[in-house]
Structure 1
Amino acid sequence: MLKNKYLKQWSCIVSEHLPHLSIPQAIGLATWSFGMVMTKSSSLTQVSRFIGAVNEEKPNTVRQRLKEWYQSGKAKKGEKRSTLEVSSCFAPLLMWVISLLPIDLERIALAMDATTIGNKFVVLSINVLLAGCGIPIAWSIVKANEPGSWKPYWQKLLRQIKEAVPNGWTVIVPADRGLYAPWLYQVIVEAGWHPFLRINQQGLVKISSHGQWQPLDALVSAPGQSWSGQVVCFKTNPLACTWLARWDSGYQEPWLVLTDLSPQRADALWYGLRPSTDCVYRDLKSDGWQWQNTRLLDPQRAERLWLAMAVATLWMVMLGGEAENQFPEPNLS
């Protein structure tokens, strides 16, 4: 039973936007995210103590309830045991974020990125770039150094959120150099979205199908230069695309970005949105929920706790706006 009125209000908001969750699941998610925001920590002990104090409960009672929330159904007590399916929350999370945007915006940036949690996990996440930060809306967590390709994880994540974006919206998908792959470019295009994938300077490019191959760094070779146009990129696994190159003063190297948008519709500066996703990792780790100190070892449990951190991050962004529907528009024009 929730006695604290603010926790109760937040639980109602969480349940409204994630209506498929059972009442215990929604209350657990609201309690975790509420406690994280108030304590600036994802520590089970700290959150349990805080919730116990504000909700007039014994900390150990809260601790057991919060611990069971991220466990699998088999590990829980009682007859009506169920496992929270985190992926079922991805599309509703994205729809929640979209509901906060100006109704005439009709465009959004979804960044793909990977981050490590010590030597325990690698988190593959898709983050909405909004208000100068990234809000996780879909993720998979795998054990660090686990063999195998990340391709199936990324493909599944993109499928799970595709239907949440309204028809007709412009969606750009930035990703840093370490994630570029021909299949990733194609999967994003097939979703009806626009890849904005940064690549390394190594490789060859030709400006026309009958042109000569030349090094990728030949067209933009010094600070202050920029270039955009349709090209065939890479002699091995060639890709016909738009190539955006920009080298601003003060930077050690240029941005080289591949997209399917025409040169007239795209700007390399849009890639400047992607570093906003680095902010979310700082918020989830050292600057915010301190998740780098997690003792969890099971990836599935970690994914459930990541859901609470995602909702906590979303709430912080909501609180940071002048009103829930007043956010700075992503600069895509």
Structure 2
Amino acid sequence: MLKNEYLKQWTRIVSEKMPHLSIPQVVGLATWSFGMVMTKSSSLTKVSQFIALVNGEKVTAVRQRLREWYEEAEAKKGIHRRSLDVSSCFAPLLMWVLNLLPANIKQIALALDATTIGDKFVVLSLNILLAGCGIPIAWCVVLANKPGSWSCHGQKLINALREVIPSGFQVIVTADRGLYADWLYQLIVDVGWHPFLRINHQGTYRVPPHQTWQPLVDVVCAPGQSWSGRIVCFKTNPLECTLLARWDIGYQDPWLILTDIEPTQASAVWYGLRPSTECVYRDVKSDGWHWHNTRLLNPQRAERLWLAIAVSTLWMVMLGGEAENQSSPPNLETLPSRHIVFSQPLHLHPQRHISCFLQGLLTLIANLLNHLPIQLHRWSSFPSTPVDDFYCFNSS
């Protein structure tokens, strides 16, 4: 079925990382994800046309195979057909990422967030945050404007991964103000991870053993201020926790973050990782696979296609991160003392011109043009980001 050597190599790696899938499911996932990367699109038409050309097949045959991959069993032709259980792939996805990180990394940052696809879908996803980018590792898709609570979906995503991360890892789970809930805080604690949840500044708190309740808005009153300590937050449904407060200059509002980590062992700066999840959705949509143009209407089919999106994104981020590690930093010692570079502000971290995601895409294309085999290597170190102190914290 597979004739193109690069598609075969891609499929072998997907098969190794997803051993629980059947051969047709592996081939479909590999074909979809490889086609997405090479066409920079999640369009069934574009991916089918590309795969047909490189694999020497008829477009109609490829299109039928790719469509059936995300369809439910009842919609497929033939007997002994079955639906792909997307949730069974969440744990292997996360293990795939963990096995590509530097061996000394013992901390992982996750983000729970939601994105809309026009007026069609809302996607709730749990993303692992890496080097200014991120990778979806668990998700659910529901129809837009459909009433209901997110708690059931959020619990399923977290529970699907609770046994995957080694016990020696420190895991923080970030979420923005719109997703804060007491059940989410407690669920994260119960699985042995650490909530890192931002809250609104409406409400009150008190500092034990004092019984006086104070407004949260008064914790930090002006840009440039920060505070941390153990508190009881919320007069209704009180929660004993750590409050990390920080108001950086140039920001309209402060960060008020609730966690179970002791104040001396955590930094509000770590919350700066969470905006990377916005890069995840940008890569899924405009910068990467153009998912916002999808014509799918069925949320279950969309969930299955998101598996190919996640594999494609994983490949680009991990390939780009290691390519960045291999690039040589500029040698400033060879420049004259009056060179313009010395008149620029000193940056503690390297300045990026493109993201790890786009670096991965360019690296893959260059490798193929140079007739290099398709492969993914473990990162030799963690690519530098403005908040990479989290990944260096307590690493051995």
Normalised to the residue count of structure 2, the TM-score between the two structures is 0.83
* Amino acid paired to 2:378: N
Instruction: Say if 2:48 and 2:63, in contact at 8 Å, map to a contact too.
Output: yes
Q: 1-side partners of 2:238 and 2:302: how far apart?
A: 39
- Aligned-residue offset at 1:68: 0.4
Paired residues for 1:23-38 under 5 Å: 23-38=23-38
* Alignment RMSD: 1.0
Instruction: Say if 2:94 and 2:164, in contact at 8 Å, map to a contact too.
Output: yes
Paired residues for 1:237-316 under 5 Å: 237-316=237-316
**2:141 corresponds to:** 141
Check 1:142–1:209 CA distance in 2 against 1; reply closer, same or farther (3 A cut).
farther
Instruction: Say if 2:233 and 2:239, in contact at 8 Å, map to a contact too.
Output: yes
**1:235 corresponds to:** 235
* Amino acid paired to 1:328: F
Instruction: Say if 1:48 and 1:63, in contact at 8 Å, map to a contact too.
Output: yes
**2:317 corresponds to:** 317
Q: 1-side partners of 2:264 and 2:272: how far apart?
A: 18
Q: 1-side partners of 2:152 and 2:209: how far apart?
A: 32
**1:67 corresponds to:** 67
Check 1:209–1:144 CA distance in 2 against 1; reply closer, same or farther (3 A cut).
farther
Q: 1-side partners of 2:289 and 2:104: how far apart?
A: 33
Residues 188-197 or 58-67, more deviating: 58-67
Paired residues for 1:1-333 under 5 Å: 1-322=1-322, 324-326=377-379, 327-328=381-382, 330-332=388-390, 333=393
Instruction: Say if 1:209 and 1:232, in contact at 8 Å, map to a contact too.
Output: no
Specify the SS of the correspondent of 1:200. coil
* Amino acid paired to 1:233: C
**CA deviation vs aligned residue, 1:118-149 (integer Å, no higher than 9, x gap):** 11111010000012111000011111111111
Q: 2-side partners of 1:325 and 1:132: how far apart?
A: 18
**CA deviation vs aligned residue, 1:43-68 (integer Å, no higher than 9, x gap):** 00000001111111111111110000
Instruction: Say if 1:155 and 1:187, in contact at 8 Å, map to a contact too.
Output: yes
* Amino acid paired to 1:127: N
Specify the SS of the correspondent of 1:8. helix
- Aligned-residue offset at 1:315: 0.6
Identity over aligned pairs, percent: 69
Specify the SS of the correspondent of 1:322. helix
Specify the SS of the correspondent of 2:218. coil
**CA deviation vs aligned residue, 1:80-102 (integer Å, no higher than 9, x gap):** 20110000000010000000011
- Aligned-residue offset at 1:163: 0.8
- Aligned-residue offset at 1:78: 1.3
**CA deviation vs aligned residue, 1:252-277 (integer Å, no higher than 9, x gap):** 11111000000011100000000001
* Amino acid paired to 2:188: I
Instruction: Say if 1:284 and 1:291, in contact at 8 Å, map to a contact too.
Output: yes
Larger Rg: 2
- Aligned-residue offset at 1:212: 1.3
Specify the SS of the correspondent of 1:264. helix
Instruction: Say if 1:173 and 1:196, in contact at 8 Å, map to a contact too.
Output: yes
Instruction: Say if 1:115 and 1:124, in contact at 8 Å, map to a contact too.
Output: yes
- Aligned-residue offset at 1:208: 1.7
* Amino acid paired to 1:125: S
Instruction: Say if 2:134 and 2:317, in contact at 8 Å, map to a contact too.
Output: no
* Amino acid paired to 2:281: Y
- Aligned-residue offset at 1:168: 1.8
- Aligned-residue offset at 1:209: 3.8
Normalised to the residue count of structure 1, the TM-score between the two structures is 0.98
Specify the SS of the correspondent of 2:265. coil
- In structure 1, the gaps of 5 or more residues are none
Point out 4+ residue stretches in structure 1 off by more than 3 angstroms.
none
**2:339 corresponds to:** none
Q: 2-side partners of 1:321 and 1:115: how far apart?
A: 25
